[in-house]
Structure 1
Amino acid sequence: MPTPHAWTTTPITADLVRGALDLETTEHGVRPHRLPAWARAQCPDPQLAMAEAQPSGVRIAFRTAATAVELEAVPTRVVYTGGPPRPQGVYELVVDGRRVDGAAAPGGTTVAVSMATGAREARPGPAGTLRFAGLPDRVKDVEIWLPHNETTELVALRTDAPVEPLPDRGRRVWLHHGSSISHGSNAAAPTGIWPAVAAARGGVELVNLGLGGSALLDPFTARTMRGTPADLISLKIGINLVNLDLMRLRAFTPAVHGFLDTIREGHPSAPLLVVSPLYCPIHEDTPGPGAFDLDALRAGRLGFRATGDPAERAAGKLTLTVIREELARIVAQRQAADPHLSYLDGLDLYGPDDHAELPLPDALHPDAAAHRRIGERFAERVFASGGAFAPARG
């Protein structure tokens, strides 16, 4: 083990962080964000603020001969008063593309959210240190994947040998936007969220704009994607619009067109894939809004239910079935002028048969095994030969 004076402390700067679009300087260090400051300023919604600051898909990446790595961080965890406990975030160590370790950070701040009123109470705590030792004694590529389900402030990176930013490995950059499922809800660890699984199999660099509860066709998200360098772009639309009961079909169609138009302003010929919702029985034919399942909460489980009336589809209320039909129509309409635009039915990633085998534990989000299946299916259908993101097409 190296003596204390042998440790090298490396500032955590943008050239060491991948998958974040902004690094905010805080009193402790830096906080990664997945939306830039100007976009965050356009929407004061607490749900969005929490989601975009949870660094799903974000990793510290460097090359080093170090055999021991320490990361000091201040995590911020959200707990729900009156609800079941939520899992702690995991920091995962990946060496030369292979996961070798993972741990939760000690200490940190806890934000208690009342499920009855939505009121929040922050309980500050100290920084904690994660230590990964026994790494191979050679030059290697190291990534520390940050937790997908809690905010973190990065205080210090310490190693027993110097580090340098990970060189460009010539991989294509995949920019993805979606809901809490893309964010990673119910996944066990950050490399286990379905976009990370798909990215690893596809050999691409992931920038994940999966924003829990916030895939709402917001113009600032489209403008963020327009200005973010990317070789491949995907957009998974639907479930949040239904469970928030945010808009009717009349508003949905032009909003999708506008979102795609904005992305195309910055990426006129990049492969662009529109993905419709995965199978979710509560919202297949029943509109939102969604609500907590009180029976599940009384049983100590988190669950959701749909509260709309299926008859309201006639008035333009959205369901997952309606959205799939309309997205397929919109893409087909645009393809004559946009040959690099493609459509993927979400039921091909997770459909009724998958639900029978791997049901949604809270009626809304897939579990860890289903995340892996969705990611593997996406890679098979999209990154493989003949897929929308196959190298020959890209």
Structure 2
Amino acid sequence: MNQHDDAPGSATTPGTAAWLTRPVTADLLRGALDLERTEHGLLPHRLPARARAQCADRQLATAESQPSGVRVVFRTRATAVELETLRTKMAYRGAPPRPDGVYDLLVDGRLTRQSGVTGGDVLMVDMSTGAVETLPGPAGAVRFTGLPDRVKDIEIWLPHNEITQLIAVRTDAPVEAVPEDGRTVWLHHGSSISQGSDAASPSTTWPALAASLGGVELINLGLGGAALLDPFTARALRDTPADLISVKIGINLVNADLMRLRAFTPAVHGFLDTIREGHPTAPLLVVSPILCPIHEDTPGPSAPDYATLSTGRLQLRAAGDPAERADGKLTLNVVRDELSRIVGQRAADDPNLRYLDGRDLYGAADFAELPLPDQLHPDAASHLRIGERFAALAFGPGGPFAAEPA
């Protein structure tokens, strides 16, 4: 890894000789729904421009431009590869520093190296006021050397938790785009847990791991804090070519305290109706929230527990009142019961619609063994467990995504 300010078209990089440089172009990218040309290069987006124009929420804008599941893919016999980027990292004033983003290098489908970049911009958020300040920084580069001297497929998975502008690829041998291989495409939507919050790296988020185990191509629309049944997200799912679709619904609606049960039920129906407009017969799996004890029976909103800062990690608490369930406030148990009922009602006319209880992915026994570090998000070990379980339940025999019907 090194940091430098070479122009994107330069032929060499400090410490190398005669490297070939090319800008990152659309034919080298997988997993993004839109690409924005910036003064530095390309910024991958996971929602199309039309969707982004319909909501000015900063949380959504940040989440969808963090490239979870997006990777740079090419074929080469290069033994050294460098990707120049300009990252934007989130930071919270007064809170412990967030870990740096990780780039995963896969060679012929195998995770081979991991590294990161330095420099870049910082979005400094003041949680007490909501104010956001941008602290600018220089571009950086991630470099991988000592790769096998043979023709191979390279995938560089971009950090799931850092906005990443792609500037250039540098190699010591030519590269070419990898043609689509016709693999089954799995389109997934969910919250920050699906985006990969607290996972160790981008290829080890639970959806990435499940996709690898299932042998499918992932498009990840996990949107941290923004899985809110927004119509524009449903339309993005509707309009994206896919063979398999899953939607993980509930936790953000509870921890944002966004709606009551009266609004929730028709919103779920509308969300599913919109997806079905574009994918009338594709297997569609509705997944309810994993266990989250603070919100099982206590409504949102979630709020920072500043008393935990002394432990070195900010934790969250449920700020709602359990008595407010009588007024229609959502809890996770309310959400699960209603999602199960909705899917059961619709399945009579939609045999390809299935339901999965999120506690089958992470439940009470898992919480006892691997508690949620901040009371909301699973850690890296839990991501691996959730991914393995989802792969077994969804892609395994009898599962809704199984290659052969039960």
TM-score (norm 1): 0.98
Whole-Å separation in 1 of the counterparts to 2:390 and 2:27: 29
Is the deviation greater in 374-383 or in 159-168?
Answer: 159-168
The equivalent of 2:392 in structure 1 is 380
Letter in 1 for 2:36: E
Indicate the larger mover: 261-270 or 296-305: 296-305
Of 270-279 and 115-124, more deviation after overlay is shown by 115-124
The equivalent position to 1:204 in structure 2, one of 216, 222, 241, is 216
- Verify: 1:24 aligned to 2:36, yes or no: yes
In the TM superposition, what are the counterparts of 1:329-344 in structure 2 within 5 Å?
Answer: 329-344=341-356
| Equivalent residue in structure 2 for 1:180, among 175, 179, 192 | 192
Match of 1:101 in 2: 113
Q: Give the aligned partner of residue 85 of structure 1.
A: 97
- Give distance in 1, aligned partners of 2:126 and 2:312: 15
* Counterpart contact for 2:23–2:41, Cα < 8 Å: no
Distance in 1, matches of 2:323 and 2:121, equals: 45
Pick the aligned partner of 2:181 from 154, 165, 169: 169
**8 A Cα contact 2:254 2:332, kept in partner:** yes
CA distance in 1, matches of 2:292, 2:298: 10
CA contact (8 A) 1:199 1:206 kept: yes
Shifted more, 167-176 versus 199-208: the winner is: 167-176
For 2:34 and 2:258, the matched residues in 1 are separated by: 28
User: Structure 2 matches for 1:131-150, cutoff 5 A?
Assistant: 131-150=143-162
* Cα distance in 2 between the residues matched to 1:198 and 1:32: 23
- Give the superposition deviation at 1:393: 4.0
SS of the residue aligned with 2:97?
A: coil
Match of 2:78 in 1: 66
Q: Which runs of 4+ in 1 moved over 4 A?
A: 1-5
Q: Is the 8 A contact 1:8 1:158 kept in 2?
A: yes
- How far residue 115 of structure 1 moved from its aligned partner, in angstroms, is 1.8
Q: Distance in 2 between matches of 1:111 and 1:347?
A: 34
The residue aligned with 1:54 is: 66
Residue of structure 2 equivalent to 1:10: 22
- SS of aligned partner of 1:10: strand
Which residue is 1:39 aligned to? 51
- Corresponding residue for residue 332 of structure 2: 320
1:243 is aligned to 255
* 1:92-129 alpha-carbon deviations (Å, 9 max, x no partner): 10111111111111111111111211111111111111
C-alpha distance after superposition, 1:187-223 (max 9, x if no partner): 1111111000100100111000000000000000000
C-alpha contact 1:83 1:115 (8 A) present in aligned 2 = no
Which of the numbers 295, 300, 306 marks the counterpart of 1:288?
300
Question: % of aligned pairs identical?
Answer: 70
Moved more, 160-169 or 12-21: 160-169
Report the TM-score, using the length of structure 2 for normalisation: 0.95
Change (3 A) 1:352 1:337: same
RMSD: 1.4
Name the residue aligned to 1:115: 127
**Shift in Å, 1:84:** 1.0
- Secondary structure of residue in 2 paired with 1:106: coil
- CA contact under 8 A between 2:188 and 2:245: conserved in structure 1? yes
Alignment of 1:202-241 (within 5 A): 202-241=214-253
Distance 1:76 1:55 in 2: 11
Among candidates 168, 193, 198, match of residue 205 of structure 2: 193
Other-structure match for 1:258: 270
d(CA) in 2 for partners of 1:8, 1:344: 48
SS of the equivalent of 2:62 reads: helix
